[in-house]
Amino acid sequence: MKHSETQIGTAGRRRSRIRGQRGFTLVEMLVVITIIGLIMSLVGPRVLNYLGESKVKAAKIQIQSFSSALDLFYLDAGRYPTSSEGLAALVKPAPGLTAWNGPYLKGGTVPNDPWGKPYVYRSPGERSAYEIISYGADGQEGGTGSAADISTASVE
């Protein structure tokens, strides 16, 4: 009898160890996933809105940087780059330009806007000697909100 009692006692200990080591139930996992989903649905739009606002601010800062570089170019060359020369004239001398003291932008390249598209440069601009434009998140002229155009006119 003693032998069978030990077998039952050992099997009982194994079962209690297995019960003590069990994981989460499916219902518990679903509750946790639902709570995480609710939190993300409340916080997610705010985070995405801040990201969009930060890209607009970055574009405005880059346009101001281009404006400063263009003013330095003007002081050296006596004119702003033409539309055909574009912003590339700030990093490489245009053909036939003798008074170039650049590069006027750090890094030796013209950066794209925060959405990965090149800036549009026009000289003369509609309202001033030049105009620098980022078409925003949608990459097309016009738009509102985060898809609105950012230009030298909106930076000033």
| pLDDT tens track for 93-139 | 888 778 888 788 888 889 999 889 999 999 888 888 899 988 887 77
Centre a 10 Å sphere on the Cβ of residue 64 and count the other Cβ atoms it contains: 14
Half-sphere exposure (CA, 13 Å, Cβ side) for 24?
8
Query: Among 16-20, 99-103, 128-132, 148-152, where is mean pLDDT lowest?
Result: 16-20
The tokens for 152 are 């030298």
d(CA 35, CA 116): 35
pTM over 0.75: no
**Domain extent at residue 108:** 2-155
- C-alpha triplet 75, 58, 128: angle, nearest 5°: 40
Give the CATH number for residue 24. Answer: 3.30.700.10
The phi, psi pair for 33, rounded to 5°, reads: -65, -40
| pLDDT tens track for 35-48 | 998 888 888 777 77
Dump the DSSP string for 10-25.
HHHHHHHHHHHT----
Q: How far is CA 112 from the centre of its chain?
A: 12
Q: How many domains does the chain have?
A: 1
Q: How far is CA 65 from the centre of its chain?
A: 18
DSSP 8-state class, residue 83: T
d(CA 83, CA 131): 10
